Homo-oligomer: A and B are copies of this chain.
């Protein structure tokens, strides 16, 4: 469970308590506006002090998700190129991976503005809690409670097939950097605004849920493109 820039110690404490209630342990805080052991947080987290003490505080969201095979963003906003899946349907996908022993990160944004578009672009999956369209914005700790309840309850349901092992986020990041480099080289991306076209391609690859072998395969294609261009530029034939 990753809280991105939470402001209120009361919320952080309530989230810790909820994790404990639902049998989860790992809490990460990215740039929190209050220390995890703030007195108000402790008051709201009876019995969950250990969880607050062990909470990891990080300066960059990318560090938090580096080892994750699946990054799930919670949001009410639809984003181009990505499906927004209701929590109950998404929990099946999340549990399949978790059952396979893979790490899943679930991101919750700021109390007032949620996750930024840039943060949402790091997610494989965007999940929403169905609420009233006119008054839909849940309190942070209640959103966490609902998500954990759903995961816990769905996990106790029927046995599901195990998902295949997905590539950790760090490998995907390496692939995306490599892709950007090659696309800049061949002039597909605008060097002044490389993100414009790249985001769509990243969206496609994240939807495909790549495993490590497939990441290597795609990087093999990228290396071969670079190789072909260099060879031709020396006046050599490709064959």
Q: Which residues on A are within 8 Å of B, measured CB to CB?
A: 14, 17-18, 20-23, 44, 47-48, 83-89, 129-132, 135-139, 141-142, 145-146, 149-150, 152-153, 156, 158-161, 164, 183, 185-188, 197, 200-201, 204-205, 207-210, 214, 217-218, 220-221, 224-225, 227-229, 232-233, 235, 238-239
Is B142 a contact of A156 with CB atoms below 8 Å? no
Is A136 a contact of B21 with CB atoms below 8 Å? yes
A217 neighbours in B (Cβ, 8 Å): 197, 200-201
**Nearest B residue (CB) for A238:** B187
Is A132 a contact of B23 with CB atoms below 8 Å? yes
Is A130 a contact of B146 with CB atoms below 8 Å? no
Query: How far in angstroms is the closest Cβ of chain B from A139?
Result: 6
Copies in the complex: 2
Provided the pairs A135-B21, A224-B188 are in contact, do residues A158 and B200 lie with their beta carbons within 8 angstroms?
A: no
Most buried by B among A135, A137, A201: A135
Is B152 a contact of A149 with CB atoms below 8 Å? no
| Residue among B201, B208, B227 making CB contact with A204, cutoff 8 Å | B208
A86 neighbours in B (Cβ, 8 Å): 153, 158-161
**Nearest B residue (CB) for A83:** B161
Is A186 a contact of B130 with CB atoms below 8 Å? no
Is A188 a contact of B88 with CB atoms below 8 Å? no
Between-chain CB contacts (< 8 Å), 5 pairs: A23-B132, A85-B161, A86-B158, A87-B153, A130-B153
A186 neighbours in B (Cβ, 8 Å): 224-225, 227-228, 238
**Nearest B residue (CB) for A239:** B187
Query: How far in angstroms is the closest Cβ of chain B from A113?
Result: 14
A18 neighbours in B (Cβ, 8 Å): 138-139, 142
A137 neighbours in B (Cβ, 8 Å): 21
A238 neighbours in B (Cβ, 8 Å): 185-187, 229
Is A20 a contact of B135 with CB atoms below 8 Å? yes
